[in-house]
Amino acid sequence: MAASGPFPTPVDDALSALAAQLRALPPSCGPVRLVAVDGHAGSGKTTFAGRLAAALGGAPVVHLDDLATHEELFGWTGRLRAKVLEPLAAGRDAGYRVYDWTLRRFAGTAAVPAAPVVLVEGVGAGRREVRPWLARVIWMELDAAAARRRGEERDGPDLAAFWAGWARAESAHFAVDPSRPHAATRVDGVTGRILPGTVGEPSTSALTCDIART
């Protein structure tokens, strides 16, 4: 699925504040502060993760679309653990093979340095099996119907059948394993602004994380 740019990209005060707070969190995956950017497909996760990575001075971003496949839309957890989480937890640089959605096979690789903050973006990034490794979950606040409309407009009619199947799989996933309740930071999926009252908004002074870690 192609990335889109639904909102402007300048680094504002709220984004700078969020970057500073993430750097100040205790490491959650070896020496790394692993941060999930989750939300419905089409909600602006990739764009926001890119903005946040820039605010963090070029933080690595793991794109879950690179680990999922047509046959395993949500079956990427084992690959993420083996190729990214476990190496980072051991203090080593990580890397994984990238799935090509056109060729329908893995082709190419992506490197993930053991940086102070590493972002994981994609639907289900804050899922139950990943949360013990996370320092924070960020949720893109855009409802499923609006996000789907945006995605379908972005991808065009050729991927309409894919989107129909994806919507069913996504709905089933979040019904049993929701990420939103675990998000300490929420971002408006229309404007890209951090929502007032969530961690990362400038008026918030506490540096807290309600995610369990091992």
In this structure, is residue 157 part of a structural domain? yes
CATH number at residue 33: 3.40.50.300
Taking 70 as the pLDDT cut, the residues of the chain under it are: 1-11, 201-214
pTM score: 0.87
Task: Quick: pLDDT tens for 59-89.
Answer: 999 999 999 999 999 999 999 999 999 999 9
**Contact (CB, 8 A) for 154 and 107:** no
Please check whether residue 7 lies inside any domain of the structure.
no
Domain interval for residue 22: 15-57+116-188
Residue 6: predicted pLDDT: 58
Q: Would you state the pLDDT for residue 214?
A: 29
In a domain, 80, yes or no: no
* 156 found inside a domain: yes
Q: Please state the domain count of the chain.
A: 1
pLDDT score at 203:
41
Q: Evaluate whether residue 64 is within a structural domain.
A: no
What is the CA angle 192-195-201, rounded to 5?
A: 105
Q: Tell me how far apart the alpha carbons of residues 209 and 199 are, in angstroms, rounded to a whole number.
A: 9
Name the token pair of 53.
Answer: 């990575």
Q: Which helix (H) or strand (E) holds 20?
A: helix 13-24
Token reading at 7: 């909102």
Q: What is the mean pLDDT of the chain?
A: 89
- Tokens representing 96? 């994984």
- With respect to residue 8, please indicate whether it lies within any of the assigned structural domains: no
In a domain, 41, yes or no: yes
Strand, coil or helix: 40:
coil
For 203-213, how does the pLDDT look when each residue is reduced to its tens digit (9 = 90+)?
433 323 332 33
So what's the pLDDT on residue 199?
77
Q: Would you say 5 and 47 are in contact if contact means Cβ atoms under 8 Å apart?
A: yes
Q: Residue 86 class from Cβ within 10 Å (0-12 exposed, 13-18 middle, 19+ buried)?
A: middle
Spatial distance between the Cα atoms of 64 and 23, rounded to a whole number of angstroms: 22
Tokens 């990943």 belong to 130
What is the model's pLDDT at position 201? 65
**Is 126 part of any domain?**
yes
